[in-house]
């Protein structure tokens, strides 16, 4: 099944869920477990019917694993992760921030995603290798890199003030991730003991990942713009090597510091404090080679 066909099936799911919700008189009726509503179950049934008819296996928040699964299944390498109504409490209260979230996984990971706000009809879609879109228009994240200026979406409630400018707890992780993907929010974080599962974020995460990917060509172009044409390939390779090396070393150093929570008797808080100091030191150290490069570029030939 190709990507366009998958998107068409996912669109049919969204339409079926909306029709099922429209058939409910009372959106506040509880479901069969705490935190669940009857609207979740009705939407799940409608969504799974469409996906199963298309020959797709499903992992749903409401009904678990279902559908044609096994070695004779023609689409056995595909699994649709489904949240039929992400933000069902919002839906029950009439808050227009709830969505149907779908993400198709294959052997390489997230392949196709569709998140649709069921209150407004706003549609977010992403296909691996083809970019992310809102209502057909390409989207990209805000590019904000300063935490003190960032507006961050959260799930849960923070125990400590983490330093961002403002935060928003909007109640639908899928739509919150889409807001990050299109630059409305600058980031998203799970805090205060809250937890998310794949059906909550996979669709939105693919949209975020594709959006971030749109920034990489600009990064590469800026880093190699002053190179002569015959050195462009080598320069691009060096940039990628340094970026990947720095990523691996930085994470390794930070994990080593965070993992040693008792070496000074300060526990986890002391380890995180030292971790931030390490990050600050590494960021400051990176200024030195940057200034060196700038001086070399500005020097007369």
Per-residue pLDDT of the chain (301 residues), as tens digits, is 899 999 999 999 999 999 999 999 999 999 888 889 999 999 999 999 999 999 999 989 898 888 876 544 444 578 899 999 999 999 999 999 999 999 998 888 889 999 999 999 999 999 988 889 999 999 989 988 888 888 998 887 776 767 778 888 898 989 999 999 999 999 888 777 666 666 665 666 666 655 554 445 545 555 555 666 666 667 667 766 776 777 677 767 766 766 655 444 445 556 666 777 777 887 788 777 767 766 665 555 4
Specify the pLDDT at position 253: 73
Look up the CATH number of the domain holding residue 172: 3.40.190.80
Specify the pLDDT at position 192: 73
Clarify whether residues 114 and 153 are in a common domain.
Answer: no
Structural domain contains residue 88: yes
Report the length, in residues, of the chain.
301
Show the domain range for 178: 147-213
Q: Token digits for 204?
A: 């939105």
Residue with tokens 């080593």: 256
Clarify whether residues 58 and 107 are in a common domain.
Answer: yes
Structural domain contains residue 68: yes
Beta partners for 155?
Answer: 190
Clarify whether residues 35 and 74 are in a common domain.
Answer: yes
C-alpha 30/C-alpha 131 separation (Å) is 38
Structural domain contains residue 11: yes
Structural domain contains residue 218: no
Look up the CATH number of the domain holding residue 100: 3.30.540.10
Clarify whether residues 123 and 36 are in a common domain.
Answer: yes
Structural domain contains residue 115: yes
Clarify whether residues 100 and 16 are in a common domain.
Answer: yes
Clarify whether residues 188 and 246 are in a common domain.
Answer: no
Sequence-ordered list of residues with C-beta below 8 angstroms from that of 72, at least 6 positions apart, any chain: none
Predicted TM-score of the model (pTM): 0.65
**End position of a domain, from candidates 194, 213, 232:** 213
Clarify whether residues 165 and 275 are in a common domain.
Answer: no
Clarify whether residues 9 and 105 are in a common domain.
Answer: yes
Structural domain contains residue 158: yes
Structural domain contains residue 110: yes
Clarify whether residues 134 and 154 are in a common domain.
Answer: no
Phi first, then psi: what are they for 100, rounded to 5°?
A: -95, 125
Specify the pLDDT at position 75: 47
Report how far Cα 161 is from the mean position of its chain's Cα atoms: 23
**End position of a domain, from candidates 213, 234, 250:** 213
Clarify whether residues 38 and 160 are in a common domain.
Answer: no
Clarify whether residues 118 and 192 are in a common domain.
Answer: no
Q: Are strands 57-60 and 166-168 parallel, antiparallel or unpaired?
A: unpaired
**End position of a domain, from candidates 102, 118, 138:** 138
**Three-state secondary structure readout of the chain:** CCHHHHHHHHHHHHHHHHHHHHCCCCCCCECCCCCCEHHHHHHHHHHHHHHHHCCCEEEECCCEEECCCCCCCCCCCCEEEEEEEECHHHHHHCCCCCEEEEEEEECCEEEEEEEEECCCCCEEEEECCCEEEECCEECCCCCCCCHHHCEEEEECCCCCCCCCCEEECCCCHHHHHHHHHCCCCCEEEECCCCCCCHHHHHHHHHHHHHHHHCCHHHHHHHHHCCCCHHHHHHHHHHHHHHHHHHHHHHHHHHHHHHHCCCCCCCHHHHHHHHHHHHHHHHHHHHHHHHHHHHHHHHCCC
Clarify whether residues 15 and 134 are in a common domain.
Answer: yes
Structural domain contains residue 184: yes
Domain count along the chain: 3
């Amino acid at each position: 099944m190709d990507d366009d066909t998958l998107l068409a099936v996912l669109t049919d799911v969204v339409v079926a869920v909306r029709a099922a919700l429209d058939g409910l008189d009372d959106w506040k009726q509880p479901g069969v477990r705490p935190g669940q509503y009857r609207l979740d179950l009705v939407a799940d049934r409608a969504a799974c019917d469409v996906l199963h008819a298309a020959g797709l296996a499903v992992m749903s928040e409401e009904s678990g694993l279902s559908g044609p699964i096994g070695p004779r299944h023609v689409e056995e390498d595909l699994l649709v992760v489904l949240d039929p109504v992400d933000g069902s409490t919002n839906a029950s209260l009439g808050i227009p921030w709830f969505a149907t979230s779908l993400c198709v996984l294959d052997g390489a990971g997230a392949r196709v995603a569709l998140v649709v706000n069921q209150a407004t009809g706003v549609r977010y879609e992403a296909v691996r290798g083809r970019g992310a879109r809102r209502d057909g228009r390409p989207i990209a994240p805000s590019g904000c890199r300063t935490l003190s200026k960032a507006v961050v979406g959260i799930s849960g409630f923070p125990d400590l003030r983490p330093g961002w400018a403002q935060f928003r707890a909007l109640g639908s992780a899928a739509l919150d991730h889409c807001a990050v993907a299109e630059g409305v929010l600058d980031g998203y974080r799970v805090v205060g003991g809250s937890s998310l599962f794949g059906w909550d974020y996979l669709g939105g995460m693919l949209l975020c990942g594709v959006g971030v990917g749109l920034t990489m060509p600009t990064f590469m172009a800026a880093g190699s713009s002053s190179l002569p044409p015959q050195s462009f390939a080598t320069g691009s390779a060096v940039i990628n090597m340094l970026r990947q090396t720095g990523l691996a070393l930085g994470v390794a150093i930070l994990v080593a510091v965070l993992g040693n929570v008792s070496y000074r008797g300060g526990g986890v808080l002391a380890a995180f404090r030292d971790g931030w100091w390490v990050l600050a030191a590494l960021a400051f150290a990176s200024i030195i080679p940057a200034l060196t490069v700038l001086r070399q570029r500005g020097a007369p030939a």
